[in-house]
Amino acid sequence: MANESPVWSINPTNVEAVIAENEHIRGHVEVRVLSRSPTVLENTFPPNTWLGRHEHASDTLYIVKEGEFHIEGEGVFHPGDVRFVAKGHAYGPEWAGPEGAKLLIVAVNGSFGTEWITD
């Protein structure tokens, strides 16, 4: 979904979730694509979902909405926490806490993409 209007709004509950699963994810992630331009995602991580080390193709903001989210080497993030990651910075692994987590993810200067790091 591209948003051509200078002002727009959307409620994530009105967007159907897509399930993301691959060999780099233990469990799955429910992804709601709220916008493609700019890329805005709402990602729901069921309890203890784990994602391997990776990087993104754009500078990215993360806003924790629910639960707790752990990132190796960075700590634990809670509702209201905001995290910024520069384009191309590899990090992880990361995982949701025992109650799961919900994050709003915004690609600041380009499209969002995930490049998995296999050491």
- Cβ neighbours around 107 below 10 Å, total: 22
Q: What is the pLDDT of residues 70-99, one digit of tens each?
A: 999 999 999 999 999 999 999 999 999 999
Q: Flag whether pLDDT at 2 surpasses 80.
A: no
- Listed in order, strand segments (DSSP E) in the chain are 18-20, 25-26, 29-36, 39-45, 50-51, 54-56, 60-71, 75-77, 82-85, 94-107, 114-116
**What does the pLDDT read at residue 1?**
56
- The predicted model gives 100-117 an average pLDDT of 93
Domain ranges of the chain: 16-116
> What's the pTM?
0.92
Q: Flag whether pLDDT at 26 surpasses 90.
A: yes
- The predicted model gives 5-21 an average pLDDT of 93
**What does the pLDDT read at residue 93?**
98
Q: Which fold has domain 16-116?
A: Jelly Rolls (2.60.120)
